[in-house]
């Protein structure tokens, strides 16, 4: 965490942009740690990766065919002596002499003196000789030594997110250990007398929110280390906040975000000594969302309603997790224009986030938009953002975010 946390000095609720700015102003990448290559996927580099040696280390055949010296190409019409073969991992032993050819397959090391490969389709081999039967063109079909990268080349800079391609490059560089930003440890504190784990909810409401929130956290680089259920009792909740925040980089409190006498999450954080960043946002759904900082640890309070919680987590919590994990926070907010959406008129006093379904034939806003609903979430794979400025945007392309 970086800098002094901001307080809610301005009257009224902040806009979404204001709340996001306060939240991101209170977080910064965590410290670095070393992990094995096999644990690198999805992590963010804190130190660059350099190539241990050139690749390929020697010239390789790019096709199946016959390795020759270019000076023997014309003589190949009458036949070159076939003196051996080279395969990947089993090179030809010896030096290619004038008038000779070596059988090679894709990836095989070229013999000394060979500088091109004549593909099978242009040759005919019989009786220990190989002849040219069609003009092979000018392409050498050779991967020169160091043509991929040279020894010491900087392959992956600091800040690289290690996706599949980056993992291949790191392995090719022989980087068996990677220095990456530590994953933020996140604890989930699920509140509500009526809430129970899905396995124990026969007579109560099954907790659904924390599972969707956990998936978002993991998707953006966080690690969920604990899920605890807590009753709506002030002393119990205060003790839980103190204990859970001590052992986490981020504490997410699910439920208890509104302002009734049974909504105690925000007050428990305050009693624990947290400084509020905001308490409520001019957005729908998700208006009760709040955030605070306690001893350099972030606390985010989400509404208990599933759609409201998922929307608030996607547009506020996800970028904060990404920033802590070393990613560009704005990468978690990859809004794009989508002119296939029929944009409705928006309320002027709040940002509106609508569940939408992106399909092959365009994006459709889902009819039933309920903060407490689950069924619409099975179809929703995007959010449509309508800003609170009250401008008539019905003729503009919609701004869409993958959910």
Tell me, rounded to whole angstroms, the distance of Cα 301 from its chain centroid. 24
d(CA 109, CA 86): 7
Q: Is residue 275 part of a domain?
A: yes
- The contacts found for 223-228 with CB under 8 angstroms, 24 or more apart, are 223/183, 223/184, 223/185, 223/186, 224/186, 224/187, 224/188, 225/185, 225/186, 225/187, 226/187, 226/188, 227/187, 227/188, 227/190, 228/187, 228/188, 228/189, 228/190
d(CA 141, CA 181): 41
CATH code of the domain covering residue 177? 3.90.105.10
Q: 117 is in which domain, residue-wise?
A: 60-143
Q: Are strands 185-191 and 100-104 parallel, antiparallel or unpaired?
A: unpaired
Please count the structural domains in the chain: 4
Residues 334 and 271: beta-carbon distance below 8 Å: no
189 and 329 within one domain: yes
pTM: 0.85
139 and 118 within one domain: yes
pLDDT profile of the chain (403 residues), mean per 10: 39 88 96 98 97 97 98 97 97 95 98 97 96 96 97 97 97 98 97 89 87 97 95 84 90 78 75 92 94 94 94 98 95 92 75 93 89 89 85 72 93
175 and 41 within one domain: yes
372 and 327 within one domain: no
Q: Is residue 64 part of a domain?
A: yes
Nearest to 351 by CA among 387, 301, 389, 325: 387
CATH code of the domain covering residue 65? 2.170.190.11
State which H helix or E strand residue 212 sits in.
helix 209-219
The whole-number pLDDT of residue 341 equals: 86
239 and 329 within one domain: yes
Q: Is residue 87 part of a domain?
A: yes
Q: Is residue 254 part of a domain?
A: yes
Q: Is residue 374 part of a domain?
A: yes
The whole-number pLDDT of residue 182 equals: 98
Q: Is residue 233 part of a domain?
A: yes
166 and 123 within one domain: no
279 and 237 within one domain: yes
| Beta-sheet strands, E only, within 193-296 | 195-196, 205-206, 223-230, 250-254, 275-279, 283-284, 290-294
201 and 259 within one domain: yes
CATH code of the domain covering residue 281? 3.40.980.10
307 and 367 within one domain: no
């Amino acid at each position: 965490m970086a800098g002094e946390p901001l307080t809610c000095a301005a009257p009224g609720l902040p806009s979404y942009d204001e709340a996001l700015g306060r939240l991101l102003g209170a977080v910064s990448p965590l410290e670095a740690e070393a992990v094995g290559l096999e644990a690198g996927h999805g992590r963010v580099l804190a130190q660059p990766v350099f190539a241990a040696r050139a690749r390929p280390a020697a010239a390789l055949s790019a096709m199946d065919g016959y390795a020759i010296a270019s000076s023997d190409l014309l003589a190949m019409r009458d036949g070159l002596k076939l003196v051996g073969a080279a395969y990947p991992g089993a090179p030809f032993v010896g030096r290619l002499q004038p008038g000779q050819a070596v059988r090679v397959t894709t990836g095989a090391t070229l013999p000394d003196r060979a500088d091109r490969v004549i593909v099978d389709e242009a040759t005919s081999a019989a009786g220990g000789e190989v002849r040219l039967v069609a003009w092979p063109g000018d392409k050498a079909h050779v991967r020169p030594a160091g043509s991929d990268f040279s020894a010491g080349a900087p392959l992956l800079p600091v800040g690289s997110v290690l996706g599949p391609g980056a993992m291949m490059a790191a392995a090719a560089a022989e980087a068996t250990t990677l220095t990456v930003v530590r994953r933020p440890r996140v604890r989930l504190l699920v509140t509500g007398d009526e809430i129970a784990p899905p396995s124990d909810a026969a007579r109560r409401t099954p907790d659904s929110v924390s599972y969707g929130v956990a998936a978002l956290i993991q998707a953006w680089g966080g690690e969920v280390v604990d899920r605890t259920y807590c009753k709506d009792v002030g002393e119990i909740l205060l003790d839980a906040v103190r204990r859970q925040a001590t052992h986490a980089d981020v504490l997410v409190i699910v439920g208890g975000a509104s302002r009734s006498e049974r909504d105690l999450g925000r007050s428990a954080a305050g009693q624990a000594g947290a400084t509020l960043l905001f308490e409520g946002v001019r957005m729908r759904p998700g208006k009760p969302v709040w955030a605070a900082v306690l001893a350099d640890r972030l606390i985010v309070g989400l509404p208990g309603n599933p759609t409201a919680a998922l929307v608030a987590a996607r547009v506020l919590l996800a970028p904060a997790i990404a920033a802590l994990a070393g990613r560009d926070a704005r990468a978690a907010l990859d809004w794009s224009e989508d002119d296939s959406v029929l944009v409705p008129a928006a309320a002027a006093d709040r940002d509106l986030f609508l569940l939408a379904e992106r399909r092959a034939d365009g994006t459709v806003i889902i009819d039933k938009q309920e903060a407490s609903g689950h069924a619409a979430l099975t179809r929703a794979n995007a959010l449509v953002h309508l800003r609170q400025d009250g401008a008539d945007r019905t003729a503009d392309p919609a701004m869409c975010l993958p959910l």
